[in-house]
Amino acid sequence: MDRKASTTSHPTSGKTETAAIPRVPQEIIDEILGHIAADPTFSAVISLRSCSLVSKSWVPTCQRHLFHTVTFTSKNIGKWLNAFPVPEESPAHYVRYLSAQIGERDCIPEEFFQRTLPWFGNVKNVALWGDWYGRQVYPFWRLPQSVTTLAIGMNAFTLMEIRDLLARLPNLDNLSHSCCLADDRARPVIEAVPRGRFSGRLQLLGGPAHEDLANMLLEVPTGLRFTEMDISCRRKCLLSSVRLVEACAKTLVKLSFGISFHGKPHSSSLADSSARTDAVSQCR
pLDDT by residue (tens digit) across 216-264?
999 999 999 999 999 887 666 778 888 999 999 999 999 987 776 555 5
| pLDDT at position 263 | 53
| pLDDT at position 172 | 96
SS3 111: helix
Q: Rounded CA gap, 143 and 141, in Å? A: 6
Tell me the three-class secondary structure of the chain, residue by residue: CCCCCCCCCCCCCCCCCCCCCCCCCHHHHHHHHHHHHCCCCCHHHHHHHHHCCCCHHHHHHHHHHHCCEEEEECCCHHHHHHHCCCHHHCHHHHCCEEEEECCCCCCCCHHHHHHHHHHCCCCCEEEEEECCCCCCCHHHCCCCCCCCEEEEEECCCCHHHHHHHHHCCCCCCEEEECCCCCCCCCCCCCCCCCCCCCCCEEEECCCCCHHHHHHHHHCCCCCCCCCEEEEEEEHHHHHHHHHHHHHCCCCCCEEEEEEEECCEEEEEEECCCCHHHHHHHHHC
Instruction: Check if the beta carbon of residue 144 is closer than 8 Å to that of residue 122.
Output: yes
| pLDDT at position 100 | 84
Give me the chain's average pLDDT, please: 79
Who's near 139: CB < 8 A, 6+ residues apart?
A: 187, 188
Parse the chain into domains and list their residue ranges: 26-66, 68-171, 198-284
Q: Rounded CA gap, 139 and 208, in Å? A: 25
158: left (phi over 0), alpha (psi -120 to 50) or beta: beta
> What does the pLDDT average to over 181-191?
61
Q: Which residues pair with 270 in a beta bridge?
A: 255
pLDDT bracket for residue 67 (50, 70, 90) = very high
pLDDT per residue over 104-145, tens digit each? 555 666 677 777 888 899 999 999 887 665 454 555 567 889
Q: Rounded CA gap, 262 and 241, in Å? A: 18
> What does the pLDDT average to over 152-166?
84
> What does the pLDDT average to over 24-45?
87
Which of the residue ranges 166-170, 184-188, 225-229 would you say has the lowest mean pLDDT?
A: 184-188
Model confidence at 32: pLDDT above 50: yes
More confidently predicted of 276 and 75: 75
Model confidence at 147: pLDDT above 90: yes
| pLDDT at position 283 | 44
| pLDDT at position 273 | 42
pLDDT per residue over 11-20, tens digit each? 555 555 666 6
pLDDT bracket for residue 171 (50, 70, 90) = very high
More confidently predicted of 280 and 51: 51
| pLDDT at position 37 | 87
| pLDDT at position 226 | 96
Percent of the chain with pLDDT over 90: 30
Q: Rounded CA gap, 244 and 218, in Å? A: 7
Angle (CA) 184 187 189, round 5°: 95
Model confidence at 276: pLDDT above 50: no
| pLDDT at position 7 | 52
| pLDDT at position 186 | 53
Q: DSSP readout, 41-70?
A: STHHHHHHHHHTTT-GGGHHHHHHHHTSEE
| pLDDT at position 284 | 46
